[in-house]
Homo-oligomer: A and B are copies of this chain.
């Protein structure tokens, strides 16, 4: 979030066609839950388009980009790397350390895989973190991790440059032009 060390999400292992929706959901979840940027590895241009379209309509700042070299992104990251994996340490045990390192000024790169993630990612990570040690969903793991990293503050963030805004309400679906408050 703005005025704080950056949080970026690196999505590994995108397979065009098969992973389109999951990768899009990773990007949209990163945006909605307080990350500053999503970096999508491989041929994920459709997912980039969708996330950019949502950012145009519902606001930012949020950046989304492609990379052909996720290993280089990992290697050159100037901050800490958190790899979300069901094999990692329990999120409830390490989230405090991760928050502290960010409070000390370290940007965080949160890495989420698709299917198999190669072992060098485990080695490159400062923390391998399991949101449960159960198989479920990289989107769910990312969401819980971000909500805990930001301790819920991400739910209060303001959106800039939006053309549309949803009015939260008990029963209804109300979207208004963003300047009509």
Interface residues of A (CB under 8 A from B): 21-22, 25, 28-29, 31-33, 54, 58, 85-93, 119, 122-123, 125, 127-128, 130-137, 139-144, 147-148, 152, 154-156, 159, 165-174
Given contacts A32-B132, A89-B169, A133-B167, 9 further A-B contacts (CB under 8 A): A21-B22, A31-B136, A32-B135, A88-B168, A92-B156, A128-B171, A131-B155, A133-B166, A137-B143
Are A172 and B87 closer than 8 Å at their CB atoms? yes
Query: In the complex, A28→B134 CA distance in Å?
Result: 9
Task: Give which listed residue, B28, B85, B93, B168, contacts A136 with CB less than 8 A.
Answer: B28
CB distance from A156 to the nearest CB of B (A): 8
Query: In the complex, A8→B80 CA distance in Å?
Result: 37
Nearest CB to that of A24 among chain B residues?
B137
Query: In the complex, A130→B132 CA distance in Å?
Result: 24
Are A92 and B168 closer than 8 Å at their CB atoms? no
Nearest CB to that of A21 among chain B residues?
B22
Q: Which 9 A-B pairs have the closest CB atoms?
A: A140-B143, A25-B137, A32-B136, A133-B166, A32-B134, A28-B136, A29-B140, A87-B173, A139-B139
Task: Give which listed residue, B86, B136, B165, B166, contacts A33 with CB less than 8 A.
Answer: B136
Q: List 30 A-B contacts (CB under 8 A).
A: A21-B21, A21-B22, A22-B25, A25-B139, A29-B136, A29-B137, A32-B132, A32-B134, A32-B135, A33-B144, A54-B135, A58-B134, A87-B166, A87-B172, A87-B174, A88-B170, A91-B155, A92-B156, A119-B173, A122-B172, A122-B173, A123-B171, A130-B168, A131-B143, A133-B168, A134-B159, A137-B143, A139-B143, A140-B143, A144-B144
Contacts of A122 in B (CB 8 A): 171-173
